[in-house]
Amino acid sequence: MVTVRVVRVFTDQAGNHGNPLGVVEDAASVVPDPAHRQEISAGP
């Protein structure tokens, strides 16, 4: 199972607006194949 943490980036000083960004911690050990990591990042 891959755990993805979602954080908001590019927000203003009050934390408004911005975009969600998914982060997989230690992705190289969880999903060792770089091509498969790209598939995950591209989404459905």
Q: What is the pLDDT of residues 1-44, one digit of tens each?
A: 778 888 999 999 999 999 998 888 887 888 888 887 777 766 66
Question: Within its chain, how far is the Cα of 25 from the centroid?
Answer: 9
User: 8 - beta bridge partners?
Assistant: 20
> Which residue type sits at 32?
P
pLDDT for position 18: 93
| pTM > 0.85: yes or no | no
Judge contact between 36 and 27, C-beta under 8 A: no
* Count of domains observed in the chain: 1
pLDDT for position 35: 81
Cβ–Cβ contacts within 10 Å for residue 26, how many? 8
The rounded distance, in Å, linking the Cα atoms of 22 and 27 is: 12
- 24 is in which domain, residue-wise? 1-11+20-44
